[in-house]
Amino acid sequence: MSLNDLAIDVPRAAAGAAAAELRAALGDRVLLPGDAGFDAARTPWNTAVAQHPFAVALPASAEDVIDMVHAVALSGLRIAPQSTGHGAGALAGTDLRHTVLVSLRGLRGVEVDATARTARVLGGSLWNDVLEAAAPHGLTAPHGSAGDVSVVGYMLSGGLSFYARAHGLAVNAVRAVEVVTADGTLVRASEDEHPDLFWALRGGSGAFGVVVAMEIDLLPLADIFAGMLLWDATHAAEVSRAWAEWTKSAPETATTTLRILNLPPLPDLPPFLSGRSVVVIDGAIEDTDAAASALLEPLRALQPEIDTFARIPAPALIGVHMDPPEPTPSANHHAMLGDLPDAAVEAFVAAAATPGIFVQEMRHLGGAATRRPAGGGAIASLAGEYLVHAISMVPVPEALPAATAAVHAGVAALEPWRIDALALTFIEEPDADRSAAFGPAWARLRELKLAYDPANLFAAARPV
Ligand SMILES: Cc1cc2nc3c(=O)[nH]c(=O)nc-3n(C[C@H](O)[C@H](O)[C@H](O)COP(=O)(O)OP(=O)(O)OC[C@H]3O[C@@H](n4cnc5c(N)ncnc54)[C@H](O)[C@@H]3O)c2cc1C
């Protein structure tokens, strides 16, 4: 049982009083059930998850967040910080009936310091916001594969990007975190200020408070060699074997992913993809055009139907993985692998045909992603050489059990090569064993949770 599961029992009369107190303290900055806009405000990006919080608070400033933490603590309720709801699946095990969802979606903004190559990012900012602000200075950031994921939710749980093998996990680029803690104080945590809290936030994320701003290092890249190669899925076995072999000697400048996609016949999809199964290799190579092209030669020799690898402006990398631009209901599961021998490749390809699998994916780790830098936080690296990830769509709520079974089957096929580790940002299920993502840091993280949030005010996806 996690601390999140210890739902506070608020009797009906007390709940009425708590609602009145919240309204009195926060006015129209809080939405209660029945208020106009409540349903839209409680709906997460992952629309497969139905969230039923006690109320939704919508801060527009750090001062609003301070007011909210005071008001919610006084009313005996709990707080779940949320920026977009991309990680809502991992919060789904928490009873939100006595929890106020503090939705950071209105707290966005990015200031770039081009000389220092850093950005100060407000608590609910999206990766698209950062890329837009950084690009005019010839800078970019270690974003993931979707531009509408929040910077805080991604980075403070690790953050695996197409820059990971060259530059490490994104969380290591966090320089300072401005967070409202359980006593309602706005604290700046960095290497020199509240170093214990700084360590804990980098992995502990929303379990330690509501983050109102963060300072991050940017990458000095105006452009990048990146793209994708696509074949019909009839070539999946041959392409997957070749990619697995290629990754064994690929330099750390190359971070790539292999995917088999079973695409439904949807009008939103381009005609060349609609209703087809395809195998795709995508990613980024941080090198000269000549070196990157030479590196891709063995994969290009397999004559892909589409080849978009070329030098592109750095912000365009966010589109390479073709993640859905709109809120999407899905079920996900993942595992970390120590190795990818031929038998594992065969199992991966066969599992992609499991009914209900939408995407069967293998991300190449290793390189700087597996190295823990000095001064790193509770999460600073990933164990394993590969990450297998299965995604299934959940078009109607009744489809969730079948979708969950499909993604578990997709990952279970790789069981003989699984190692005892997890990647925190890929944990989408409420009952996953988070300790596996932290290793030896788990015990210290739990001690710090008790020290900083003794009443367990903060309910997080992936709770500590
Ligand atoms: C389409 C898609 C693509 C993805 N691609 C990648 C990828 O390439 N690499 C990768 O590593 N991960 C990826 N992820 C996973 C994603 O990074 C995590 O789910 C991440 O936690 C989402 O953060 P969010 O804030 O957008 O989501 P939310 O659900 O809003 O937040 C998740 C948790 O983060 C914490 N949090 C968020 N904002 C705050 C805040 N301001 N203060 C305190 N706590 C906060 C809370 O604990 C919250 O429960 C992807 C997910 C999806 C759905």
Q: Is the shortest distance between the CB of 84 and ligand 1 below 6 Å?
A: yes
Residue 224: is its pLDDT beyond 80? yes
pLDDT bracket for residue 12 (50, 70, 90): low
Look at 16 and 3; give whichever has higher pLDDT. Answer: 16
Domain range 223-429, its CATH number among 3.40.462.20, 1.10.3720.10, 3.20.20.70, 3.30.70.940:
3.40.462.20
- The amino acid that residue 250 corresponds to is A
Q: Is the shortest distance between the CB of 160 and ligand 1 below 6 Å?
A: yes
Mutate to test the pocket of ligand 1, among 148, 334, 336, 425 (most ligand atoms within 8 A of CB): 425
- CA 315 – CA 95 distance, rounded (Å): 38
324 Cα to the center of ligand 1, angstroms? 15
Determine the pLDDT at residue 4.
43
Determine the pLDDT at residue 273.
85
Determine the pLDDT at residue 9.
52
Determine the pLDDT at residue 10.
56
pLDDT per residue as tens digits for the range 46-105: 998 999 999 999 999 999 999 999 999 999 999 999 999 999 999 998 889 999 999 999
Q: Strands 359-364, 330-337: parallel, antiparallel or unpaired by DSSP?
A: unpaired
Neighbours of 34 (CB within 10 A): 7
Beta strands in 202-352 (DSSP E): 210-217, 223-232, 254-262, 277-285, 306-307, 310-313, 330-337
Least confident of 67-76, 95-104, 155-164, 393-402: 393-402
425 Cα to the center of ligand 1, angstroms? 7
Q: Strands 254-262, 277-285: parallel, antiparallel or unpaired by DSSP?
A: antiparallel
CATH 3.30.56.10 for domain 13-106: no
Q: Indicate the average pLDDT of the chain.
A: 95
Residue 401: is its pLDDT beyond 60? yes
Which residues are within 8 A (CB) of 172 and not within 5 positions of it... i.e. 6 or more apart?
Answer: 373, 376, 380
In the chain, CATH 3.40.462.20 sits at: 223-429
Quick one: which atom of ligand 1 is closest to the CA of 82?
30
Mutate to test the pocket of ligand 1, among 91, 128, 154 (most ligand atoms within 8 A of CB): 154
* Span 424-434, average pLDDT: 91
115 Cα to the center of ligand 1, angstroms? 29
The per-residue b/e assignment along 104-139, b for 16 or more CB within 10 angstroms, e otherwise, is: bbebbebebeeeebbbbbbbbbbbbbbbebbbebeb
Q: Is the shortest distance between the CB of 4 and ligand 1 below 6 Å?
A: no
Determine the pLDDT at residue 325.
79
pLDDT per residue as tens digits for the range 303-313: 999 999 999 99
Determine the pLDDT at residue 397.
87
94 Cα to the center of ligand 1, angstroms? 16
Nearest to 54 by CA among 24, 83, 74, 75: 75
171 Cα to the center of ligand 1, angstroms? 12
* Span 189-201, average pLDDT: 98
Residue 268: is its pLDDT beyond 80? no
150 Cα to the center of ligand 1, angstroms? 6
In the chain, CATH 3.30.465.10 sits at: 110-220
Q: Are 297 and 245 contacting, i.e. CB atoms less than 8 angstroms apart? A: no
pLDDT per residue as tens digits for the range 327-365: 889 999 999 999 999 999 999 999 999 999 999 999 999
43 Cα to the center of ligand 1, angstroms? 15
Q: Is the shortest distance between the CB of 461 and ligand 1 below 6 Å?
A: yes
In the chain, CATH 3.30.43.10 sits at: 13-106
Sheet containing 174-180: order of strands: 110-113, 118-122, 210-217, 174-180, 186-190
* Span 284-306, average pLDDT: 98
Give strand pairing partners of 391: 332, 359
Q: Is the shortest distance between the CB of 323 and ligand 1 below 6 Å?
A: yes
- Determine which residue's CA is closest to atom 8 belonging to ligand 1: 144
- Determine which residue's CA is closest to atom 34 belonging to ligand 1: 153
For residue 271, the 8-state DSSP code is T
Residue 107: is its pLDDT beyond 50? yes
* CATH code for the domain defined by 110-220: 3.30.465.10
pLDDT bracket for residue 217 (50, 70, 90): very high
pLDDT bracket for residue 277 (50, 70, 90): very high
Q: Is the shortest distance between the CB of 82 and ligand 1 below 6 Å?
A: yes
Look at 431 and 403; give whichever has higher pLDDT. Answer: 403
* Span 213-231, average pLDDT: 98
Determine the pLDDT at residue 429.
87
Q: Is the shortest distance between the CB of 146 and ligand 1 below 6 Å?
A: yes
18 Cα to the center of ligand 1, angstroms? 29
pLDDT per residue as tens digits for the range 132-143: 999 999 999 999
What tokens were used for 68?
A: 């909210």
- Determine which residue's CA is closest to atom 5 belonging to ligand 1: 145
